[in-house]
Copies of this chain bind each other. A is one copy, B any other.
C-alpha cells in the first residue's frame, strides 16, 4: 500500500457468535484463511454486539418484571415495559426521559439512548443485549486472543453507535479501547505559522470507530473491521479517557 494511505478492511464470514467464543481468535483465524492476515500495526474494531454475545451480556425479557415507572413510560409511548425496565436497571442517572426516548448515563459513564440496551440483531425472540460489563477489559482480552493466534498484539476498539445532541444520525464511537491512546493531543504544538494550535485534542478512537462503520454496515453481518496504516500512539488508558469529567461538562 502507498505510504500515508489508510485501508479499512471488513472482516467477513464470522460464524454465529455464542457465549464463550474467543472473538479475537475467531477474527485472526478467519482473516488468515482469507489470505489477508492481521499485520503488525493494524487496529481491530469490533462491534459491541458480538462482544456482548460472546460474553453472554444478554437479557431474556421473559425474566423481567417491570417496575411502575417502566410500566407507565411504556404505556404512554407504546414500548415494551420489560425493555424499558432493562434500560432503567442499566442506568445510573436519567439525563432525559421524554417522547419515548430515554437518554441515560451507564455505570461506565457513557451517556446514550436506552443506556446502550439494544434489541436488534439478537438471537431472535425477546432477548436484548446490554453493554459489555467492562468494554476496555473486553478489548484487552480480544487483543490477547488475537496475539494468541498471530504472536503479536494489535490495538482493539470495541464500538457502538451513539446519537449526539444537535445533530441527526448516529455515529460509531469507541466504548472500549486497548493498546492505543484514544485521544491525540496537540497541546503546545505549533502550526505552519508558528501559532500554537487551539485545536488541541482529537478523539481519534471515535474517528477510527466511525471509519470502521463505513465498511461494517448494519445489514450485512460484518461486525468487525481492520484499519491498516494508521500511525497510532500506543496507550493503555482505555476508553475512559474519552469521558468528560462531570465538573467540566456544560451539558449534564
Q: Does A62 contact B (CB under 8 A)?
A: no
B-side contacts of A120, CB under 8 Å:
191, 195-199
**Cβ B121 vs Cβ A203 within 8 A:** no
Q: Does A64 contact B (CB under 8 A)?
A: no
**Docked pose: A213 CA to B204 CA in angstroms:** 9
Segment of A51-59, A130-138, A150-158, A214-222 engaged in the interface with chain B: A214-222
- A189-B111 contact in complex given A169-B201, A207-B211, C-beta closer than 8 Å: no
**Cβ A161 vs Cβ B242 within 8 A:** no
Interchain CB contact (< 8 A) of A202 among B169, B197, B221, B249:
B169
Interface size class of A (residues with CB under 8 A): 35 or more
**Docked pose: A118 CA to B96 CA in angstroms:** 32
**Cβ A123 vs Cβ B193 within 8 A:** yes
**Docked pose: A41 CA to B134 CA in angstroms:** 40
**Docked pose: A134 CA to B166 CA in angstroms:** 19
- Report which A residues bind B (CB closer than 8 A): 2, 4-10, 12, 36, 96, 98-99, 101, 103, 111, 118-124, 161, 164-173, 182-184, 186, 189, 191-199, 201-204, 206-208, 210-211, 213-215, 218-219, 221, 230, 241-244, 249-251
